Structure 1
Amino acid sequence: MSSPGTSRWEVPLAERMRPKTLDEFTGQGHLLGSGAPLRKLLDAGRTPSCILYGPPGVGKTTLVRLMASETGRDILEINAVSAKVSELRDLVAEASNLKAMRAGHAAIAFVDEIYHFNKSQQNALLPSVEKGDLILVGTTTENPWFEINKTLLSRMVVFQLSPLSEDDLAALLKRALADRERGLGNLEIEAEEKALRRIAAMAGGDARQALTRLEFIAASVGARGGALLTEEGVLSALPLAAVRFDKASEDHFAVVSALIKSIRGSDPDAALYWLARLLAGGENLRFICRRLLISAAEDVGLADPNALPVTAAAVQAVEMTGMPEARIILAEAVIYLAAAPKSNSAYLAVDSASKAIEKGDLQEVPFHLRPDGSGYIYPHDDPRHWVPQQYMDRQRRFYFPGTLGMEGEMASRLRKFWRRFSEGGDS
């Protein structure tokens, strides 16, 4: 755990509190609870080649090491970024020797952030994985179905780990505060339940973050000669919560998706929350603006044609102001879009027309509509500013108006012009 001559107190609390057994492991009950699939395999002494996928601080590395210790296997660790093919071949040879020495018990080859593996690295390990000469276990914070080569993925099981719940984190913090061997028990500091809950809530599901925060604030209390950890003390020492969001990670796409779906579902409070999460994570303002413009056209659409110009004006204002004022402008646009009536008729219409063309519906331009044609009737010459006239060689129907907002009025006007916009109409 620590180098010779190094005080154990120099080792971070999160490292000291790493679980030594599966029963100490916090969270992930869907994988390790009684009767859960991975737990049953480990209890039977079996370990599959697998990928542990989840955000930081949820126990991926700890679980790999427990998988080895619980099943009595050697563990060989390799770095996905720096490992050379020659080093991987040496690892394969070592794993083969260990298997022979352990009466057929294969070693675990542990690869952290396995998505960094390139094709040559994969090719060096795949035959050994297929033959069972080693058990490949990788961890990743990136979505393996997007980031990992399908050839490798097809030979492994993916186990997804979730952020820890507030209850799990609070229990972990309480245990760390009381543990005299590995934790902070020798400080003899008591903690209000609300204080531990506050630290847990601020950690964003990350056990490492929660323990790091506890260690810092407990040391602060101890340095002042105090013996009680209060919620007020937590808030004054640690005013900012850990935002689980990374522009390059899967969370980035999840939060953006939540924003757009909240707008589409007409929930301004949820939409504002996810906007704030994006801003707190340092999301590029232009990216947010592009998504709002798309939502204005796709989700609000013709039910409120003002949504697009309102959003476009917000985008221009954001460009001129920047943060922190841009957050107010974006909030106004998000509230407008979420509260507006909704219609995706334009989105469906253009997709329908595109699919017709893809299927070979390639019509000739009617002669009277060509620049060199004749017979075209100018609609503005009629008092109605409309005349019955054919605009396609073969009539097709792509646009089906919604009934909300201004689109209902548009539909009513179109019904006066074309029978196909009336129920059962075809022209």
Structure 2
Amino acid sequence: MKFFPAGEPAEARRETRRRIRDKGGKAVDLFSGNLEKSAPLADRMRPRTLDEFLGQGHIVGKNTLLRRAIEADKLGSCIFWGPPGCGKSTLAAIVAHTTGSDFYKLNAVTSGVKDVREVIDKAEGSLKLYGRESFLLLDECHRWSKSQSDSVLPAMESGVIKLIGSTTENPMAAMTSAIVSRCRLFEFYALGKEDIKKAVFRAAEDKERGFGNMDLTVDGDAAEHWASVSNGDVRSALNALELAVLTTKPDAKGRVHITLEIAEQSIQQRAVRMDDNEYYDMLSAFCKSLRGSDSDAALFWFARMVYAGVDPRVPVRRMIAHASEDVGLANPSVLNQCVAAMQALEFNGMPEARLNIAQAIIYLCESPKSNSVLLAVDAAAKAAREASRQDVPAYLQDANFEKAKHEKKSEAYKYAHDYPRHYVEQQYLPDEMKDRVFYRPSMQGYEQKVHEYRRFIGKEKKPGK
């Protein structure tokens, strides 16, 4: 880390700092040129100023708080969070290039408490000797343990360190509240298609960092394809451009022409984000689609999760639960279908079992719905928790138990099959709960037959409490 002479004016320090750093905020040495040349296109083309920065107009647009803070070099501790390739690390590099403060960078995956303390010691020395503040950029900050987070808290509170965290996870759920409460949160969104295309053409035309020195033509539909398939990740689109350019032979005149066909070959699979938040969001959408009888949506969310790498057993397990939770006795065979789908998955595996799973999804969605099973078991569980000791009626107790030989039953047990229609009115609940009703069949599907059966045997239930 470079140190500056005491008493050097702030503007002079900033200019000196710019001279010893490259345009991405990295320290320059004799060999930096070689590293830069071998860097991937996406890294070389990182925007260097706020004016070059693409997207995120809601936080770095003209007159926004974050932009004003960066331009005035008054940025405090903050956390940038959003999907991959949307500019979090790039904006942090812009801050490093703009600020007159010292700038340190760590990765939460590879750094430990010792690394944090070394940075804090340097930052404290710089602040005491020269009155210069320090930033700590922490990539993948959600991976920090509690001990690592605690190690930097005193330095943040005293102003020795300003933290810039970068993460794809929601910090409010993935990070310690002590860190989050001391930072401003800025949410980044996936870049739009126009921003992706602008980045592609900028890289194709840039003579310093891109392919501007080549006789290169990129068709509009090729850029459109990358913008669509990259799914908001500019890094993915630029990687595809670089692969396409480096693997396409020039024609007789030395020109490189990137067509739609070449673009399709350079990025064959759409990038699908799947962090913890989106995993649970997709699973929630799948479950709600099952309950909502929308087989098209349920099939889509199942396919989307499997495409993104989710174990197909996860959604199928949810189907088994929903078979009783949302269908239940309205169509009892749904449970059989869902269990059969899980067995098919275990026996045949994917992709063959996708047909069995799809059949079960459609059957579950298109079946009549009833949550009477869920309500009944919840009501029974609540009664069991709240009830005082409830003795089993004497005539329902185990007649083979030794004590039964010596006890006189006040009332004999009525064997249902000895009566017409194989039913006899008899109290099965404890005396204090004899009028409680837990299961109330709906008028959906098979449960209509439950009502018919009850009328047939003459069974009547009094209103429950």
Q: TM-score, normalised by structure 2?
A: 0.81
Which residue pairs with 1:402 in the alignment?
Answer: 442
Q: Spell out, residue by residue over 1:122-154, the C-alpha distance to the aligned partner (whole angstroms, 9 max, x if none).
A: 232111112222111222223433432233333
Aligned match of 1:168 in 195, 206, 229?
Answer: 195
Q: Check whether the contact 2:250–2:257 (CA below 8 A) recurs between aligned residues.
A: no
Name the SS of the counterpart of 2:422 in structure 1. coil
Task: Give the letter aligned to residue 419 of structure 2.
Answer: D
Residue 30 (str. 1) matches residue 72 (str. 2): no
Quick one: distance in 2 between partners of 1:237 and 1:83?
A: 34
What's the offset of the Cα at 1:43?
A: 4.6
Q: Check whether the contact 2:44–2:209 (CA below 8 A) recurs between aligned residues.
A: yes
Which residue pairs with 1:229 in the alignment?
Answer: 258
Which residue pairs with 1:42 in the alignment?
Answer: 70
Structure 1 spans left out of the alignment, 5+ residues: none
Write out aligned runs for 1:150-165 (5 A).
Answer: 150-165=177-192
Change (3 A) 1:411 1:363: farther
Which residue pairs with 2:13 in the alignment?
Answer: none
Q: Spell out, residue by residue over 1:24-52, the C-alpha distance to the aligned partner (whole angstroms, 9 max, x if none).
A: 22222332234545335435543232222
Which residue pairs with 2:280 in the alignment?
Answer: 253
Which residue pairs with 2:11 in the alignment?
Answer: none
Which residue pairs with 1:418 in the alignment?
Answer: 460
Aligned match of 2:101 in 73, 76, 86?
Answer: 73
Quick one: distance in 1 between partners of 2:210 and 2:460?
A: 77
Which residue pairs with 1:315 in the alignment?
Answer: 342
Write out aligned runs for 1:9-408 (5 A).
Answer: 9-34=37-62, 36-100=64-128, 103=131, 106-223=133-250, 227-245=256-274, 249-360=276-387, 363-372=390-399, 374-393=411-430, 394=433, 395-408=435-448
CA RMSD of the aligned region, Å?
2.8
Number of positions where the alignment pairs a residue of Structure 1 with one of Structure 2: 420
Change (3 A) 1:378 1:106: farther
Q: Check whether the contact 2:241–2:266 (CA below 8 A) recurs between aligned residues.
A: no
What's the offset of the Cα at 1:6?
A: 1.9
Q: TM-score, normalised by structure 1?
A: 0.87
Matched-pair identity in %: 39
Larger Rg belongs to: 2
Change (3 A) 1:365 1:188: farther
Quick one: distance in 2 between partners of 1:381 and 1:38?
A: 82
Name the SS of the counterpart of 1:329 in structure 2. helix
What's the offset of the Cα at 1:53?
A: 2.2
Quick one: distance in 2 between partners of 1:400 and 1:35?
A: 60
Name the SS of the counterpart of 1:23 in structure 2. coil
Give the 4+ runs in structure 1 shifted more than 6 A.
none
Name the SS of the counterpart of 1:51 in structure 2. strand
Name the SS of the counterpart of 1:384 in structure 2. helix
Task: Give the letter aligned to residue 306 of structure 2.
Answer: L
Structure 2 spans left out of the alignment, 5+ residues: 1-23, 400-408
Quick one: distance in 2 between partners of 1:402 and 1:98?
A: 73
Q: Check whether the contact 2:79–2:183 (CA below 8 A) recurs between aligned residues.
A: yes
Quick one: distance in 2 between partners of 1:145 and 1:258?
A: 22
Name the SS of the counterpart of 1:197 in structure 2. helix
Quick one: distance in 1 between partners of 2:181 and 2:142?
A: 14
Quick one: distance in 1 between partners of 2:264 and 2:113?
A: 50
Which residue pairs with 2:34 in the alignment?
Answer: 6
Q: Check whether the contact 1:65–1:75 (CA below 8 A) recurs between aligned residues.
A: no
Q: Check whether the contact 2:240–2:266 (CA below 8 A) recurs between aligned residues.
A: no
Q: Check whether the contact 1:379–1:387 (CA below 8 A) recurs between aligned residues.
A: yes
Q: Check whether the contact 1:31–1:37 (CA below 8 A) recurs between aligned residues.
A: yes
Task: Give the letter aligned to residue 459 of structure 2.
Answer: F
Change (3 A) 1:207 1:276: same
Q: Check whether the contact 1:314–1:330 (CA below 8 A) recurs between aligned residues.
A: yes
Name the SS of the counterpart of 1:257 in structure 2. helix
